[in-house]
Amino acid sequence: MTAVTDLPRVAGRTEILRNLVPQTLIQTRRLLVRWRRDPVTMVQSLGFPALLLVMINTVLGHQVSAFSGANALYGSVPMVTLVGVMSGSLAGAITLGRERDAGLLARLWVLPVHRASGLLARIVAEAVRIVACTVVLFAAGMALGFRFHEGIPAAFGLLGVPVLYGLGFATLVTAAAVFTAKSALVEVISLGSSLMMFFSTGFVPLTAYPGWAQPIVKHQPMSYAIEAMRGLSLGGPVRAPLLATVAWSVAAVLVFAVPAVVGYNRASRV
C-alpha cells in the first residue's frame, strides 16, 4: 500500500530530473549568447590574452629560448591560455553580479524550472567557453610557431588541462562573486591572477627566479598546469604535474562548491 501511494511522488521526481537537462541546455545557450555579445567578456577571454602572447613572444621570446634551450612558446602559450581562462571567469563573475543586481536571478528563481539548472548551466557554459578560448589561443600560438610534437591524443589531453584548471578557478570565482562587491572582486582576483602569471614557469624558467621564490613558483597551481601542458606538447614529465593540477582543481571545487551553491541560492532569492 505504501509503495502505491509513493508512486506519484516518484513520478514527480522523475519528471523533475527529466526536465533538468533541457532546462540546463536552454540556460547554457542563454549565457553563451550573452557572453558572445558582451565586449568585455570577449576582450578579457580572447583579445587581451592573444595580444599578451604576441607581446611576450616579441619582447622575451628570444631571451627565454636562449636561456632555457627550448622554444619559449611552449611555456608562454600554456601560460597565456590559462590567463585567458582566468580572465574569462572573472568576466563571467561580473556578468553574474549584474544579473543579481538587475533581479534576473530572482525572476528565474520563481519560474517553474529546476533549481539546479541555473548553476549547472553556468558550469557547462564555462566549460564550453574555456574550450573555445583554448582553441583560439592555440591557433594564435601555432601562427607564432607552437606545434603539437606528441601527437593527436596528447593534443586532446592538452586541451583538457585548461578545462580542468578553469573549472576549479571558476568555482572559486563564483563563490566570491555571490558574496563580494564587484569592484573588490575585480581588483583582488586581477591582482592574484597577475601575480600567478609573473611567478610561474611559463613566464621564465624556474632557475631564473631567486632561490627564495623558486618553491613558490614551482608549487603554485598555474605552474603545474603549464608544466603538464608543456609535456603534452613538447615532451617531458606529464604525470606528476598533471596529478598536481588535478589535486589543485579538485580541492578548489570541494572547498568552494558549497559556498557557491549557497551564495547563488541566496542571491536568487533577493
The answer to which of 146-150, 179-183, 190-194 has the lowest mean pLDDT is 179-183
Across the range 251-260, mean pLDDT stands at: 89
If pLDDT is split at 50, 70 and 90, which confidence band does 181 have?
low
If pLDDT is split at 50, 70 and 90, which confidence band does 15 have?
low
- What pLDDT digit, counting tens, does each position of 91-107 carry? 777 777 777 777 777 77
Q: What does the pLDDT read at residue 250?
A: 94
- What pLDDT digit, counting tens, does each position of 224-244 carry? 999 999 999 998 889 999 999
Across the range 76-91, mean pLDDT stands at: 88
If one compares 4 and 59, the residue with the highest pLDDT of the two is 59
Q: What does the pLDDT read at residue 42?
A: 78
If one compares 19 and 57, the residue with the highest pLDDT of the two is 57
Residue 13 has pLDDT above 70, yes or no: no
Across the range 113-136, mean pLDDT stands at: 85
Distance of alpha carbon 199 from alpha carbon 208, whole angstroms:
11
Residue 17 has pLDDT above 80, yes or no: no
Per-domain boundaries in the chain:
2-268
Q: What is the mean pLDDT of the chain?
A: 83
Residue 139 has pLDDT above 80, yes or no: yes
